[in-house]
Structure 1
């Protein structure tokens, strides 16, 4: 295959990140199985540290790249997160997972991705990121006097390709920021 691994992210020619998601899912389930085997000998705090070190850190690393990916890819990450929550709380397989995730204060994967993009946007607007990120964000400086003039909306650029262009930071960040 023509996939390339750069900074731990597997990039395929179609930019679907499917091989990256499959790799992270496989590694995360491996670690979860190992943690589950020794879960009875650990406290909740120790198990939580292991899950964060070996699983959720992998799910969160470069997850902003998955912002516009198919829901199939995000669902695989959601399955890993649900399994991690079950291991931590010793929940059964068929117990409803939403109350468990809420008790752990864990956002769903799509919300985690959106949060990461919004955090980068906030930092870029306040000069807390490198200049190259700030250069992709444009304030709405319309000469017309509108009620939304001081609302801090960002201009969403026109895109040609909806697959890759719709996932770019310069498109996704203003779209999410303006929807707040």
Structure 2
């Protein structure tokens, strides 16, 4: 068993102000790309692994102009080698939106794995989104299929990927 504590801090100052680019991948919230915009800001992250099956973490990001902030705290628990559960609470000061996310991942066997991720918007008092990820490992690659529903954007999500091993 091991005990690990990690603390990271950063001060990010940009040379010029860059306009929002919708093609840029969001950094903090894939369901709300506008929260991916960051100007000059301070970041603080802390992670604690009191053993091999439990992780606790938190993050705070504050724009230096005081316009927005993002704070989150979460816990991940791996009771067995093939099962992981996690919960994360996030609050965005831009509009005081609070989210609660859960993750349930399992390795069915050496070849198959599955994950289920529901999300709630606590301010609107309702279910926000869900997604399911199924993956299959082959000798040369891992194939994944993802599907879900985002009620905020009124979208159905369907995607797939193939990752070559050793790449």
> Which protein shows a greater Rg?
1
Query: Structure 2-normalised TM-score?
Result: 0.26
Q: Which has the higher contact order (CA 8 A, sep 6+)?
A: 1
Query: Structure 1-normalised TM-score?
Result: 0.25
**Higher strand residue share:** 2
**Higher helix residue share:** 1
